[in-house]
């Protein structure tokens, strides 16, 4: 907030083009519909999950991730899917890890291209190298889990943790040998590219003469920063990175860049939070209860916990 002039911010809010703001907010909501399509594709070989259920779980998880530390919403959305479909919790968690590897692949490629065509801080080259190494390791581990043969049926009848492990390996093998896995990988590209549009629309609303390339680069930086534990709804780091990006890459005035960072934060955070709150209300549970149930699910090794209290 150091360079923010709140008087000027008030003037900005009175003069920005709210048509572009509405477009940005609408596309931001659409991003998570695209994510729902991808998640359904990942899980298609092992469970029939409706689009409505998937969207609701994602929005509840999104809301939880913004208000809970360490992105606790990921566990919450996995738990909800397990609750609704009897899918083992471990398989649901594994499907989210698959999504993250897919995201890492496209983020690495996008940042690699941005470093060549957009004037970005040199230090991002080291970030890109580290991301590439992480993606390579994640892809290798994922390949071992997904493309190994399915375990014998006798393994599935073993008691205790061996049974849970065998079920997980069997379901992952079904996912890995399905064409839907490759469709999900392709679906990850429009999912990420859609996230560029709200930033570009916010540029237009604010009157910045910046194109899709700048919006892509900023989106990649903000997505990578989400890995770092931070304040609820990314307040603080989101503004710092946006301000520094505009200052260093495009020589935007520090005060103007700081004010825009707040506007952009409102555009990409408020609408999804409202949608997540509505999805949570429809689900009929409290965030704290869902988080506790999800934690209990993880400690129990994947068996579905009773949910009568929710």
What does R_g of the chain's alpha carbons equal in angstroms?
21
The whole-angstrom separation of Cα 264 and Cα 66 is 16
- Residue 194 has a pLDDT of 94
Per the listing, tokens 């429809």 go with: 282
* pTM: predicted TM-score of the whole model, two decimal places: 0.83
pLDDT of residue 192: 93
DSSP labels, 151-216? PPHHHHT--THHHHHHHHHHHHHHHHTSTHHHHHHHHHHHHHHHTHHHHHHHHHHHT----HHHHH
pLDDT of residue 145: 76
Q: For the segment 178-230, what is each residue's pLDDT rounded down to a tens digit? A: 899 999 999 999 999 999 999 999 999 998 999 898 899 899 988 888 776 66
- 57 CB-near residues (< 8 Å, 6+ apart): 77, 80, 81, 84
Parts of the chain with a pLDDT under 70: 1-3, 69-71, 119-124, 151, 153-164, 228-231, 287-289, 298-310
What is the model's pLDDT at position 122?
67
CB 288 within 8 A of CB 37: no
């Amino acid at each position: 907030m150091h360079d923010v002039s709140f008087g000027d911010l008030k003037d900005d809010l009175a003069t920005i083009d709210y048509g572009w703001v509405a477009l940005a907010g609408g596309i931001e909501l659409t991003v998570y519909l695209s994510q729902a399509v991808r998640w359904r594709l990942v899980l298609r070989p092992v469970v029939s999950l409706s689009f409505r259920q998937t969207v609701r779980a994602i929005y509840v998880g999104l809301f939880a991730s913004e208000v809970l530390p360490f992105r606790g919403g990921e566990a919450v959305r996995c738990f909800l899917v397990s609750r609704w479909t009897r899918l083992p919790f471990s398989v649901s968690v594994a499907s989210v890890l698959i999504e993250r590897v897919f995201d890492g692949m496209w983020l690495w490629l996008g940042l690699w291209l941005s470093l060549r065509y957009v004037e970005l801080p040199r230090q991002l080259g080291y970030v890109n190298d580290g991301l590439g190494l992480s993606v390579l390791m994640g892809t290798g581990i994922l390949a071992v889990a997904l493309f190994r043969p399915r375990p014998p049926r006798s393994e599935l009848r073993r008691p205790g943790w061996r049974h849970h492990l065998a079920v997980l390996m069997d379901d992952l093998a079904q996912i890995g040998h399905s064409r839907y896995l490759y469709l999900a990988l392709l679906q990850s590209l429009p999912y990420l590219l859609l996230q560029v549009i709200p930033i570009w629309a916010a540029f237009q609303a604010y009157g910045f003469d910046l194109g899709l390339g700048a919006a892509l680069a900023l989106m990649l930086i903000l997505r990578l920063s989400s890995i770092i534990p931070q304040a609820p709804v990314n307040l603080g780091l989101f503004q710092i990175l946006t301000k520094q990006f505009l200052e260093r890459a495009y020589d935007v005035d520090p005060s103007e860049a700081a004010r825009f960072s707040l506007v952009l934060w409102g555009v990409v955070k408020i609408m999804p939070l409202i949608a997540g709150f509505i999805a949570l209300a429809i689900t009929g549970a409290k965030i704290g209860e869902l988080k506790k149930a999800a934690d209990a699910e993880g400690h129990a090794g994947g068996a579905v916990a009773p949910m009568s209290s929710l």
